[in-house]
Amino acid sequence: MAKEAIALARQVGDPRTLATVLEDSCYAIWAPDTLAKRAELVRELMAVVVQVKDLHVEYFARLRETNIAMELCDFARADAALERIQAIAEQTRQPTRRWNTGFIAAAVCCMRGELEAGERLAEQALQIGQEGGEPDAAMAYGATLIMNRMYQGRGAEVVALLEQTVANVPGVAAWEAALGLTYCFIDRRPDGAEVLVRAAGQHFEHLRHDQFRMCGLALYADTAARTGSVEAAAMLYELLDPYADQFVWTGATGFGHARMYLALLAATLGRHERADAHFAFACAFHHQHSLRVWEARSELGWAEALADRGETERAREHAARALELAREHGYGAFEPGAAAILTSHASSSGGR
């Protein structure tokens, strides 16, 4: 349908009509396997923006560009596009635009590891959205809040909210994936494993091919690693591998590079050489782009994988980096695991 709409818009020959159809098509076909196609549409869209010279058209074009650039790991381009839509939103004072830019700015702040600052931005966006009558304002805020509490080690505070969200929003299966991982964070791993078993029983086909699919696969992958679920890990590796070059981004939350999750899955499957290659990339990538929360998760994952196979010295190095990041930025979810590896090694080596 999107193809047909674009073809008709080109026949019409009106730049504004074409811009609207290109913008809407990017959302209509949003899924991990359409990234290259959506990037093409955005390139065409930006050329049309030059012809139209209208802030409304440019706003939505830059919004699409922001999302595409995030998924492509082109963060400089994403930052520039976000800065432009923030400027347009403030200039026009249109509530929906201000809300949109607000929750995206909050997500970017959180994915770079500044959880408290990101939460403040999310609260501001929530207020703007509610005042403007945005029906998804609470859900967008909830996504930020739940993610932050998970990684702050405060998942128990939001697990009831997450359970309610799963019941109330069955169309977004990624919420259930988030619930399974949250159970793992609050020492309810059997419950997390049960969520994963249900999903694996459906071969993860309940995850729609939309903007939340990558997020769902990633969260299930982390749950599989934490519960040692080999069968689920094998399925998830095959599902995620085609998107190994992408950043996990929903438009409202970012969850790190896909190769971090491939690393966790490979380690669970005992594919040590492949896991090490993925972990090395993920740690370097997240460090290079100052994605601190994901750097901490990558370092901890590698440390745990190395410890499991008896490489204690290397495990200690990566655990120390994970612990440093966790303590500096308040990632309480990662601190116990990193500290345990360091303490265990110190005990086994006589405290040296």
Cross-strand pairs, 247: 257
- Lowest-confidence segment of 51-55, 169-173, 174-178, 319-323 by average pLDDT: 169-173
pLDDT tens by residue, 269-320 = 999 999 999 999 999 999 999 999 999 999 999 999 999 999 999 999 999 9
Q: Which phi-psi region, left, alpha or beta, contains residue 228 (left: φ > 0; alpha: ψ -120 to 50)?
A: left
Instruction: For residue 345, name the pLDDT band (cuts at 50, 70, 90).
Output: low
Going from N- to C-terminal start, the domains of the chain cover 1-93
pLDDT at position 191 is: 97
Average predicted confidence (pLDDT) for the chain: 94
Closest-CA residue to 151 (of 304, 331, 327, 336): 331
pLDDT at position 351 is: 42
Q: What is the CATH number of domain 1-93?
A: 1.25.40.10
pLDDT at position 350 is: 45
pTM (global) more than 0.85:
yes
pLDDT at position 170 is: 82
Strands (E) across 173-271 are located at: 247-249, 254-257
Scan for tokens 């993860």, then name that residue: 204
Give me the mean pLDDT over the 234-247 stretch: 98
